[in-house]
Structures are given as C-alpha cells and as structure tokens.
C-alpha cells in the first residue's frame, strides 16, 4: 500500500515564503493565536492547480496537521470543488496565517505587512500560472481577493471568481439552534449553487469531467468529501484526514483553552 503525501515547501518560491512569515509584530497576539505558529496552505504547489481557494483562518485540526481546511469546513469545500470536477488540481490558502482569537479588528486585518505577505503568496500562485478560477470563502477572504485584484498583478490577471459563503457560517450564525442551522445551510447551498454556475464554464481542465449537479436544501451523501491523503504531510494516520472532531481546545477558562489542544484517536481505530 502506498501513501501519497504532500511534499510541502521544499521548492521556491514557497521555501522562502515559509522562512519569512510575519510574526507578532504583524499579527497581534490579542487577535490571533500566534503561539501555535502559522499554517500556510493545502494542495498543489507544483503549478498543477487550476482552482485557487481563499479561506479564512486555521483552527485546531489544521494546527495539528499543519495544513489548512482539513476539518468540517474543508470537507464541505472539497465537495464544492468535486462538483466542478476538481479532485486534486487545487490550492488553498487562508486570509490569515494564524487562527483568529475572538474577532479580527479592521486595524488588524488592514496591516500593510499582513496584506503584503499574502500578496506574495497570491503572486506566486496566480502570476504566470494556470489557475482558471478563484473561490473565496466568507467576507474576509472576499476582501483579501479584492485587495490583491487591485494590485498591478491582480489587474493583469483574468480568472473566474466566486465569492461564496464560508462553509461553517451556518454553524457560527445559528449558535446551536437547529431550525436556524437548517435555514442557514439551505441559504448557503443556494449561494454555493450560484457560485458553481458562475465557475463551471471557466473550468477547462477538470480532473474528472462531471456534469454539474447542484446542491439541494441540505447536504446529501457525497456532498462532503474526505481530505485526500496526498494533501497531508508524510506519515499522518488515516483518521487525521478521513475523520473530524479528534482535536479540541480543552480547559476550564479561556486562557487554559487557548493553551491547549487535545488530540483523541477516534473510536474504532485503536486495537
């Protein structure tokens, strides 16, 4: 049995980008969980990506795996890409390198050095590359895209773009209320269907040519897709990409929770 894995950041320009990431002077510790380190990307860095996704910020599963969008949001996003026939030719980066703590202030997110570093990634992924479509998840990612699009490199780049609702916005917005959750998921999937219809004509080189099947009012079987093993670093166990909910922030107060990540191997994995 072979285990494909993501070779990571050995090649330029990503090697230098991953050596020169901004720290606490750019990402204030009051607003970002800077103590867990930056988490950079998921997907292809070898120039084969056709779709670029901009997410928001990493959470606890991402912190363990050191790749972004590997939890529930990632699984939903993976399903969105699959509907476009994109099963491996994608690359994902986030608006923020570090996990947001509480909420992001306008001052924090407009820091020139924060934006400049993100633009170096966007330049590397878009300029002279073969990206055909860009997907932004949520309003902060949409803003990040607009800021890059206004640069000379951005103005010179023609790609299809869909700014869609963040995949776990329904959970954030409904705060445990099941009726609200169902309504928010329905609204999100309607929004996603519009995004799919915008992007589908732009995808000239899908990994698997697929007739476009839109979402219904709820997630159906197959709408959530596991994170491929080849997106994770070498040697990570299968449950880290196949399952979700195995990493939690545990603690009796906010500070203890902030200092903690508890990993629990899912039931059925241990002998």
Residues 126-145 that bind its own copies (CB under 8 A): none
Q: Which residue in 102, 176, 211, 271 binds its own copies (CB under 8 A)?
A: 271
DSSP for 159-228? -EEEEE--TTHHHHHHTT-HHHHHHHHHHHHHHHHHHHHHHGGG-SS-SS--------SSPPTTSS-PPP
Assess 172 for contact with its own copies (CB under 8 A). no
- Residue 8 is a binding residue for its own copies (CB under 8 A): yes
User: Nearest approach, Cβ of 64 to its own copies (angstroms)?
Assistant: 7
Q: Is 235 among the residues that bind its own copies (CB under 8 A)?
A: yes
Residue 121 as a binder of its own copies (CB under 8 A): the answer is no
Q: Tell me whether residue 221 or residue 253 sits nearer to its own copies (CB atom).
A: 253
Closer to its own copies at the Cβ: 208 or 262?
Answer: 262
Sites for its own copies among residues 48-87 (CB under 8 A): 64, 66
**Which stretch in 106-114, 183-191, 197-205, 231-239 sits in contact with its own copies by CB under 8 A?**
231-239
Question: SS3 of 153, please?
Answer: helix
Contact flag: residue 201 with its own copies (CB under 8 A) = no
Q: How far apart are CA 207 and CA 221, in angstroms?
A: 21
- d(C-alpha 59, C-alpha 247), whole Å: 9
What is the closest distance, in whole angstroms, from the C-beta atom of residue 185 to its own copies in the complex?
31
Length of the chain in residues, anyone? 271
Give all strands of the β-sheet with 41-43 in edge-to-edge order.
Answer: 41-43, 90-94, 51-55, 133-137, 160-164
If one asks whether residue 37 binds its own copies (CB under 8 A), the answer comes out as yes
Rg (CA), the chain: 18
**Which of residues 213 and 265 has its CB atom nearest to its own copies in the complex?**
265
């Amino acid at each position: 049995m072979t285990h494909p894995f993501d070779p990571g950041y050995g090649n330029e320009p990503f090697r230098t980008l991953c050596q020169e990431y901004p720290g606490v002077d750019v990402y204030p510790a009051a607003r970002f969980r800077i103590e867990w380190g930056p988490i950079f990307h998921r997907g292809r860095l070898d120039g084969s990506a056709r779709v670029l996704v901009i997410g928001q910020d990493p959470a606890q599963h991402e912190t363990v795996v050191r790749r972004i969008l590997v939890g529930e949001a990632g699984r939903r996003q993976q399903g969105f890409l699959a509907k476009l026939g994109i099963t491996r030719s994608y690359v994902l980066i986030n608006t923020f390198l570090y996990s947001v703590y509480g909420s992001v202030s306008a001052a924090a997110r407009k820091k020139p050095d924060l934006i400049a570093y993100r633009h170096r990634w966007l330049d590397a992924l878009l300029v002279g590359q073969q990206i055909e479509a860009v997907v932004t998840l949520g309003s902060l990612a949409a803003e990040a895209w607009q800021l890059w699009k206004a640069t000379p490199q951005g103005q010179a780049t023609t790609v299809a773009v869909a700014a869609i609702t963040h995949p776990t916005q329904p959970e954030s917005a409904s705060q445990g209320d099941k009726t609200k959750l169902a309504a928010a998921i329905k609204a999100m999937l309607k929004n996603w269907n519009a995004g799919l219809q915008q992007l589908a004509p732009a995808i000239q080189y899908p990994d698997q040519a697929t007739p476009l099947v839109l979402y219904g009012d709820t997630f159906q079987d197959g709408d959530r897709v596991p994170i491929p093993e080849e997106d994770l670093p070498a040697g990570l166990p299968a449950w880290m990409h196949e399952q979700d909910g195995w990493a939690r922030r545990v603690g009796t107060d906010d500070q203890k929770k902030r200092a903690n990540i508890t990993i629990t191997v899912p039931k059925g994995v241990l002998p």
